[in-house]
Amino acid sequence: MVSIKVGVLGATGLVGSRIVSLLAHHPWFRVAAVSGGQRNHGRRYAEARHDGGAGVPDYIADLKVAASDATAFADCQLILSALPAEVASDVEPVFAAAGHAVVSNAKSYRLAPDVPLIVPEVNADHLALIDVQQRRRNWSGYIVTNPNCSTIVLSLAIAPLYAAFGIRQLQVTTLQAISGAGYGGVDALSLIDNVIPFIAGEEDKIESEPRKLLGAFSNDGIAFADFAISATCIRVPVLDGHLEALSLQLDRPAQADEILTTWRDWQPLKQRNLPSAPAHPVIYLDAPDRPQPRLDRDAAGGMATVIGCLRRCPVLDYKLIALGHNLVRGAAGGVILIAELLKSEGRL
């Protein structure tokens, strides 16, 4: 057992609460401080949570909610941030400058040229960008970012195909759960008996972030992968789990059974023994009507992308459906897995 003290910023929100719950019995990390919005400052953590702290051990439930201020987190080597982007933009650099390792869910620094955007199975080598960041910004700590939730689901599905066959172009339509917008993000009355064909900023993220993830690292930064992505994003009345309908064209021809074998054999983190890493980051289901959010979002504890319906596309090469848990793999579990990777790389 290692015990690294962790501070969770935005710990009263949907993502922050999930981070804390996932860390409650973590073998390496121990939650030592939590922050929230001003209305919750000084309150007992369990009482400030929307779920009353269900299942949270006493030593965390009794913490007092602090402001997101580096002095309240001085003890915490690791900071997991679930702040809204407009707050994260100002707060996260202060923590990094003060020597903390910050792993963020916010979009603020994802595309900054010296900030790693990481999915551990996809581009662990991009962590070398931390050295560039620390040199350029003169920070003793650093910021590493977790991609957008739909990007994570997508990138796990396509990364092994990109490595094996190359990708020329890709179209994706996302059907995104209501929890993806956070507490207060979408009101239920607008979404029951309805779908909303607009999610602010989402299409741009999905069209750019996977190309950074699949890009090549050099000392100058990341050269983005060179293929076009077209994304359409739709909010649907599902609680958790983003479903994505993809069509893609490969650089080199592949048979369907080669694609299935590529997904099945893809275990890039196998040797690292990270506590939150799924044994198989991609799970393929043969049934013709899967994956489905309610049935499949918790596969591998919510840490896998579940794929099905692989078939020929009359326009591009193949079509498929991918699904992932936006709050677990797409957010809370994603930053925890990045933190585990940082530890295994000797950066914590």
Ligand X SMILES: NC(=O)c1ccc[n+]([C@@H]2O[C@H](COP(=O)([O-])OP(=O)(O)OC[C@H]3O[C@@H](n4cnc5c(N)ncnc54)[C@H](OP(=O)(O)O)[C@@H]3O)[C@@H](O)[C@H]2O)c1
**Residues within the interface to ligand X (CB under 6 A):** 10-16, 35-37, 39-40, 48, 68, 82-85, 87, 105-106, 149, 179-180, 182-184, 326-327, 330-331
To ligand X, the closest distance from the beta carbon of 260 in angstroms equals 29
**Strand, helix or coil for residue 2:** coil
**Strand, helix or coil for residue 20:** helix
Closest CA to 78 of 23, 37, 38: 23
In the complex with ligand X, the residue whose CB is nearer, 174 or 326, is 326
To ligand X, the closest distance from the beta carbon of 341 in angstroms equals 18
Residues in the chain: 348
In the complex with ligand X, the residue whose CB is nearer, 37 or 268, is 37
Q: What is the end-to-end Cα distance of the chain in Å, rounded? A: 15
In the complex with ligand X, the residue whose CB is nearer, 7 or 161, is 7
Mind spelling out the 3-state secondary structure of 223-239? Answer: ECCCCEEEEEEEECCCC
- Taking the C-alpha atoms of residue 309 and residue 295, their distance in angstroms, rounded to an integer, is 15
To ligand X, the closest distance from the beta carbon of 219 in angstroms equals 29
143 beta partners: 102
- Taking the C-alpha atoms of residue 16 and residue 10, their distance in angstroms, rounded to an integer, is 5
In the complex with ligand X, the residue whose CB is nearer, 69 or 251, is 69
E strand intervals along 177-304: 216-218, 221-223, 228-235, 242-250, 282-284
Positions marked catalytic: 149, 242
CB atoms within 10 A of CB 111: 16
In the complex with ligand X, the residue whose CB is nearer, 239 or 279, is 239
> Could you give the angle at the alpha carbon of 175 between the alpha carbons of 13 and 189, nearest 5°?
60
Residue with the shortest CB distance to ligand X: 13
